[in-house]
Structure 1
Amino acid sequence: MVGIVIAVVAVLVLGVCGCLGVGTMLVGSYAPGPAADDPYYDDPDPYYDGDYDEESPFPTWTPPTPSEPATAAATPSTGRGRIVVSYEVTGKGRGDIQYYDANGEFIRLEAVSLPWRQKIRTDDPNRVLVMASSTDDEGSVACSTRVGDRAPVTDAAAPGYQVTCGSR
């Protein structure tokens, strides 16, 4: 009995699948053109509203120039700093120097005569950094930072390289 039920179900499933397959072939053979349209249109964009002038240039955006302080701060703007920091860059000729001033502002100096020294008073000993490189890439350059009475942090580099000295 179970075998007869399974046989009947199998015949019905095969019959339904066969009908669907034949029906798909018949309908597909009468359908004009491809089943999907080409995604590219020669017509104008259906969402085009006509307000855009294609001849006008695209708007451009220029980032604002970074604001540099007029002069580097030797003491914090909140008053006399607690910690004395000494920066020093040695070498011959000229060099580009970047360092943090007493307010924690990053200062960039270009083509400074070497040797260069700067003393500041700050309240943040972690914001101590000087970077330097020789502008002509021919002379070697060295740097040193001293925070309070700690040992100095030094670095030296061959011509064409940059030195970096921070705090300990």
Structure 2
Amino acid sequence: MGIKSFQGPRVQQPSEEAPLRVCDYMTRKLITFKPEQSVEEVIVALLKYKISGGPVVNDRNELVGMISEGDCIKHISENRYHNLPSSNLTVEGHMIKNVETIDGNMNIFDAANKFLNQKRRRFPIVENGKLVGQISQKDILKATLKLKSQNW
């Protein structure tokens, strides 16, 4: 009498690799701001949506800048702390205008390196001149949790 295998037939697992591109993990539904908005409106939105900043777009959804909590704090310290009349109350006067973007097809690990080297919290993704999404450090962390069963 032969030895029987109680493991059953072995089924070949399909070898699907998890997606590793920025566009697979970026946030597409963004809270955006307009250059003509007031800084106070931005502060209210940052607190309401519990975000630390966001992209500034024009009417054609083209990225024109980024505004963050730090930019808003700078506005407050420049005007209110010194009890000076507020000037340049709009986002346009306080946003960062030279915004570095990244490619949606970039590998998330390369993006993680870029976060470390650039010391940024978020990078916008632009396609054909239009803002299509944003990847944050938190998105990179979420991606690594989804990929933890994979070999890095």
TM-score norm. by structure 2 comes to 0.20
TM-score norm. by structure 1 comes to 0.19
Comparing both structures, which one devotes a greater share of its residues to helix?
2
Q: Which has the larger radius of gyration?
A: 1
Comparing both structures, which one devotes a greater share of its residues to strand?
1
